[in-house]
Each structure stands twice: as structure tokens, then as C-alpha cells.
Amino acid sequence: MQRFHQQQRQHLAREQAGPGVARALALTEGDAVIHWRRLRRADGVPMCIEDAYLNEVLLPGFLQSGMPTSLYDSLESRGLRPTWAEDSVNADKATSEESSLLEVDPMSAVLRHSRRAVSGEKVVEVSRSVYRADRYTLWVQLGQDG
């Protein structure tokens, strides 16, 4: 995985899918994927490190169109906004790199969030995020459409 420094808040690159990403995106290991790594902030405070992986075949020209401000808006403009997703969240301790980027004490509590997002029949995004546990609350709304 390519690392980025504190000052570099985003990294967008073409990479080869490793076994886990390939399986989650329904690709073959080594296929081209887009990796978008972001350090997300709220009121200037680091909140989350997010690694999103996208199937490059579904997104021709994505890397050439510049750094998007919203992944889901960019997917929507291509007719690929996710229609459903699978998420998992678990508690853990921050690694030394995560502690540094999130500006928390080493081994601080973090929330790890994984997502697999689908548009129609196509898996369009797989992401792994690490949130500061002291600044994040998981809120889930459940209901039925009327």
C-alpha cells in the first residue's frame, strides 16, 4: 500500500488488485483498480483515513478527470451510484501510522469500517476506513419505504 504523509491529504492512483480487493470487487488478482486514499477532516481535525478501491474498467477516464470532491457524486455522474452496500464496523487500536495521521496517542481506540457497495449488479466500491473513536458515533436509521 502506498503511504502518504500528513501534509498530503489525498492519493489517487492506478494499482493492481491484491487478493482481498480483487475478491471483493469480483475481479481477478492483478486486475487494474483505482485506489483513492484520503485523510478526511472535520473543522480541521483529522477524523478518518479512508482507502477506497474502484474497478477501473467501470470508470474510464476517472484518473484523468482530476481529484473528485465526492466519490458518490462522481459515481452518480457515471450512472453508478450505489443502490445498496454491506458494511462492517469493529473496534481496534490504531497503528503507529494511523495514530500519527489521526493525531491521536499511539494505540488509541479506533473504529474500523469496511464497505462493499453495489450499483445494480456491479460492485463499484470497496473501502476500508479508520475513524477516531473519540470523535465519531455510528448512527444507523432503519425503516421501510411506505
**Selection from 105, 113, 104 nearest residue 140 by Cα:** 113
Residue 120 DSSP SS3? coil
Residue 108 DSSP SS3? coil
How many residues appear in the chain?
Answer: 146
Residue 21 DSSP SS3? helix
| CA gap 100, 14 in Å, rounded | 25
Mean pLDDT of the region 121-128: 95
pLDDT, tens digit, 9 for 90 and up, residues 91-113: 999 999 999 999 999 999 999 99
| CA gap 141, 58 in Å, rounded | 30
pLDDT confidence tier of residue 5, bands split at 50, 70 and 90: very low
Residue 63 DSSP SS3? helix
pLDDT, tens digit, 9 for 90 and up, residues 38-87: 999 988 899 999 999 999 999 988 888 877 888 899 999 999 999 999 99
